[in-house]
Structure 1
């Protein structure tokens, strides 16, 4: 039942119902009642089953799929939080047995209870996960996420750079983070249109009320501006039903606008009752007859966010309104000096071409270091030298050359290929630092090395390789290197 794959191939607008599995018979019954309708208006329905939204103890998407009484077209999510490469590979045969061959690969937001400085939690990064599955299941339909709702250049530019890697790693489509800023939706479409081989985009949408806005304050990467909250509060003050109807109308208008912009479909979130689904359909039907162009849609969308006597709504955080293509940032003198010093040191010790690097390489590849005690001594030596310099956690395979000497291990999630979607105005989702990928972006722009952030796909570090010296591996000619950009695996999506 490849409804999603067929819709994307045929360029048919599609509605994907997002389902967060919980051990509740009522939730499953509602999902099955909605999916029994098979369509939203004239658009085919599929379901996506979320993974580890609450914690690692949540019901797995595969178990949730197996709990359904009727088969339905299903897109499973796979969240990389607190998982390794082996966890992903172990799931694939179970999906084969269930006849499932569609997967949305996500790094995942912060795992509850994960705090920097405590037990490290490993996150299998989406870029690496895409490479793993694409190699193991070349014909599967694979998706990844993009969060364009960023309002500082570093975090926004880094998002798009990482999205290029996701496409190169094998993503057949991208689903956007939940958002309400239609200018950012247009920005994402324009970005995709500029890619050498554009892929379909789906938009995650939800009916927004004041109560949901309060809930979304705790969801990383979702932006609800103060002026938006003011409108929602004013609607709630009229009546609960009025606010609910306005939210449904706005959702219907948002979907129509996205369709007119060229989105391949929607990922519909927050529908927990059949009545909500029916109300959305009832709101959509007359609007679809009335609105046929973006010029007709624009004033209707503005009116849906107007509540007298409040001023016009702005969807960006106060004082921050970056747009893709704007280049204004520059690394500090200290950041650039640090980069140049580390780059010079790397060249001298690790280029494999200088006299010093040849001597050093010869020294650390002696058979002596294969013995446990000397290997541990070398590991500790590397850690004591590099940790003060770059924050090294001796992951066993150094990636500094591919990350402009900003160590991935200084990211709480250990991400090497780029940021997650959870940043807010350059601040890490964990709240205790600037996102290291914002630092890396700023540096790359300043030293003309942005291609490093798009062209080098960095594989994951396998758990059994951690906490040992990377030096002997670096100088081993047979050591694995970052993968080159891969050709598209499913050419039927390329037009």
Structure 2
């Protein structure tokens, strides 16, 4: 059993150190020292190798672990951006050959250089990736991401609903997005405790400097407010040493607080040397010795973000206020009408029950439509009919009924099971549109269909099936499609 799996099973607090694999001998030597030490403040310390977060010249997680001798405790990431099922299975086979059995499955952020007006880049999203990984390696430790740091009902509600899907798909633990809003950390724990399949959660943390905050403000899904930036800037103006000491104190304090909240551990980013690790260890020890309760911690946490003459720090976006449990949004009249009309059309033509649907089904299952000119013509007809209505890109396996007739192909990443973590106040990570999953949430809420967004696991679209008509497959007998 891996050290991480054992620690989670025994409910021992654990520290995961995120490593962005790079071709740097100096960085490699420093990481070897950290990995060999193997603990932080008495807690197990395990390496996690990130995937596709840096420059294109960076190593893969598999190569990064190999450069350190494949520590059995390694947690490898798998980012689904611009990836297919075959890519995941190839990485898993390589991991099995080296005795690595821990995987954090992520949909991934925006592919560098990709713009919405370019050709679509499709992602192997985390929900089907979890199902694939669980099917092929049922005993592996599988993790997934959760971003509770959302301040609109649609995006926050949709995040938690997708979290339920990830639990159903086989997630053993969650790793939260990097953030500093303690109220949302507590909210996420409240959500998890209400689940039937309650799983441990790790919280992502980082020592935040003014320079790092400037970079993180542009990272999708991470909230760095202007009041936070102003405080960090004032600390830097006092002196570099003062700002460094304050940032270290806050990191140690946050880790201690997350343990008090009930988190299973932390996912530490931005620690690159043994000296940094030892400084953090000493700061944690100082905080733990004087901490009495979570109430005491909350007071200290807010005090650590104060400075004479500086404005009060707020971790919430200026126009954001939603908290879990608040419910005040609904679909617009246009969204409700559109859903009703498309649902009615679906019932008439694709329910497989009425005479019209049965007649269409008989016609669509004729062999003539499966190959050649007839198949191309049917594909063109379906695209011509559906693209103006729903934005269809003829994925070959229509999922509209499961997505409340909001086509997942209109998401720049092609996500069908729910939103990624990169939204901001309902806006897509690409910033040119509202997130389609926020629209879907409003429709589902108004149509009493929210359980669909939490319980229906939508499989990935295989690359070879795209750009063909979905109608013949839709009407095939269910026993012939059960394996899809």
> TM bucket by the smaller chain?
over 0.9
Moved more, 386-395 or 291-300: 291-300
Matched, 1:130 2:130: yes
Moved more, 138-147 or 26-35: 26-35
Cα distance per residue 1:184-241 (max 9 Å; x no partner)? 0000000000001200000000011110100101211000111111111111110111
Aligned to 2:142: 142
The 3-state SS of whatever aligns with 1:105 is strand
Cα distance per residue 1:23-54 (max 9 Å; x no partner)? 11111111111122211011011110000112
After superposition, the Cα gap between the structure-2 partners of 1:342 and 1:70, relative to the gap in structure 1 and judged at 3 Å, is closer
Aligned to 2:376: 376
Cα distance per residue 1:232-283 (max 9 Å; x no partner)? 1111110111111100100111001100000000000011222221111111
Aligned to 2:297: 297
Give the alignment of 1:176-191 within 5 angstroms. Answer: 176-191=176-191
Which runs of no fewer than 5 residues in structure 2 stay unpaired? none
Aligned to 1:64: 64
Give the alignment of 1:32-431 within 5 angstroms. Answer: 32-54=32-54, 58-69=58-69, 71=71, 73-431=73-431
Aligned to 1:493: none
Structure 1 residue 312: Cα displacement: 2.2
Aligned to 2:6: 6
Structure 1 CA distance for aligned equivalents of residues 117 and 298 of structure 2: 48
8 Å CA contact 2:17–2:269 kept in 1: the answer is yes
After superposition, the Cα gap between the structure-2 partners of 1:263 and 1:291, relative to the gap in structure 1 and judged at 3 Å, is same
The 3-state SS of whatever aligns with 2:423 is coil
Cα distance per residue 1:348-403 (max 9 Å; x no partner)? 00000111111111111112112311000000000000000000000000000000
Structure 1 residue 122: Cα displacement: 1.4
After superposition, the Cα gap between the structure-2 partners of 1:130 and 1:34, relative to the gap in structure 1 and judged at 3 Å, is same
8 Å CA contact 2:428–2:434 kept in 1: the answer is yes
Which runs of no fewer than 5 residues in structure 1 stay unpaired? 484-495
Moved more, 369-378 or 413-422: 369-378
The 3-state SS of whatever aligns with 1:251 is helix
Structure 1 CA distance for aligned equivalents of residues 319 and 263 of structure 2: 29
Structure 1 residue 2: Cα displacement: 1.0
Aligned to 1:461: 461
Structure 1 residue 141: Cα displacement: 0.2
8 Å CA contact 1:458–1:482 kept in 2: the answer is no
Structure 1 CA distance for aligned equivalents of residues 145 and 322 of structure 2: 20
After superposition, the Cα gap between the structure-2 partners of 1:178 and 1:62, relative to the gap in structure 1 and judged at 3 Å, is same
Moved more, 82-91 or 455-464: 82-91
The 3-state SS of whatever aligns with 1:424 is coil
Structure 2 CA distance for aligned equivalents of residues 345 and 330 of structure 1: 23
Structure 2 CA distance for aligned equivalents of residues 344 and 265 of structure 1: 48
Aligned to 1:432: 432
Structure 1 CA distance for aligned equivalents of residues 370 and 130 of structure 2: 33
Structure 1 residue 56: Cα displacement: 5.6
Structure 2 CA distance for aligned equivalents of residues 31 and 53 of structure 1: 18
How many residues in Structure 1 have an aligned counterpart in Structure 2?
483
Structure 1 residue 145: Cα displacement: 0.1
8 Å CA contact 1:228–1:314 kept in 2: the answer is yes
Structure 1 CA distance for aligned equivalents of residues 325 and 288 of structure 2: 33
Structure 1 CA distance for aligned equivalents of residues 390 and 372 of structure 2: 26
Structure 2 CA distance for aligned equivalents of residues 93 and 250 of structure 1: 41
The 3-state SS of whatever aligns with 2:174 is strand
8 Å CA contact 1:56–1:82 kept in 2: the answer is no
Structure 1 CA distance for aligned equivalents of residues 196 and 71 of structure 2: 37
8 Å CA contact 1:30–1:273 kept in 2: the answer is yes
Structure 2 CA distance for aligned equivalents of residues 142 and 81 of structure 1: 18
8 Å CA contact 1:178–1:203 kept in 2: the answer is yes
The 3-state SS of whatever aligns with 2:54 is coil
Structure 2 CA distance for aligned equivalents of residues 91 and 174 of structure 1: 21
Cα distance per residue 1:161-181 (max 9 Å; x no partner)? 000000100000000000000
TM value normalised by structure 2: 0.98
After superposition, the Cα gap between the structure-2 partners of 1:482 and 1:72, relative to the gap in structure 1 and judged at 3 Å, is closer
